[in-house]
Structures are given as C-alpha cells and as structure tokens.
A = this chain, B = another copy of it.
C-alpha cells in the first residue's frame, strides 16, 4: 500500500498550476445556455461546464475518452441510447466514439468533463475565440514567470 506515495524521479518539464475556475479560466459560449471553462494540460483537458435550465449538449461522439462528473444540480446524460438523470456523486466513463448527450430541466447545473487526449475541437474553440489577450491568466503558478 505504501508504494502509492513512492516518488518517481523524473524532472518536471512544466510548473504546476492552481486556478479558481470562474475567475481564471476563459469562458467559451459554445452552445445556447452552456458555458465551458477549459484547463489545458498535455495529456488531459478539464472542462468545467455551466448549464442554464433547459439547456442541451446535443448528441455527439468523439475520439477522445471522457470522464463526466456532475458537480451541482441535475443533468440527464444520454449514453449509448440509455438516459439517466445524474446528480453530484455520480459519474460516467465515456470511451472513444460512444455517442452521448446532456441536458438540464428546470434547474441550472455545473459539470466537469475531463478528456484524454485533450479534446481537439475544444482546443480549436480556444484558439479561435476573440479577445484572447489577458484571458486565462492563472491566479497562481508554482514557477516564477518564464520558468
């Protein structure tokens, strides 16, 4: 059991990053009633998604594997044709190319997606957004500027 905290001996190539999601991450309006805020790594991309009531991420599929976690509120996830109303404490693993959709009903919701590899369509959205300058400044990087 103790091996879990054994330390690997490699050299970090990047600093760690701590963020306050709503304050530090850029907000992308990618569908009506949905706003996502991405935290981008090398192998991982975390996307914090706010849903207004009666909003929908339509049925889609992608190559990137996805973990889906409900943070607040209720979200109906459709996964492979099965629908389930999900709440905090519930999560889904969505393998590559499995079709899925998500929607809210009368209340708002907050949800986390983590993709690996980083979802290409989201990186493109991030690249294309207007007024990129000054957005996404981390509240705290663990290395000095330029480090």
Contacts and interface: CB of A to CB of B under 8 A. Distances in A.
Interface of A: 1, 3-22, 29-31, 39-44, 46, 48, 57-63, 65-67, 69, 71, 77, 79-82, 84, 86, 88-100, 112, 114, 116-117, 121-122, 124-125, 140, 142-143
A41 B65 contact: yes
- Per CB-CB distance, the 5 closest pairs between chain A and chain B, nearest first, are A80-B142, A10-B97, A16-B79, A43-B116, A116-B116
B39 A91 contact: yes
A1 B34 CA distance: 12
Nearest to A18: B92
B117 A114 contact: no
A82 B44 contact: no
A92 B57 CA distance: 26
Contacts of A41: 65, 67, 93, 95, 116
A97 B8 CA distance: 7
Given A44-B116, A46-B69, A80-B142, A93 B39 contact: yes
A93 B10 contact: no
Contacts of A42: 65, 95-96
Contact of A62 (B1, B7, B66, B79): B7
26 contacts: A1-B30, A4-B30, A4-B60, A4-B121, A4-B122, A5-B58, A8-B61, A8-B62, A9-B97, A10-B97, A13-B96, A16-B79, A16-B80, A16-B98, A18-B84, A18-B92, A41-B65, A42-B96, A43-B116, A44-B44, A46-B91, A46-B93, A67-B114, A80-B143, A82-B140, A116-B117
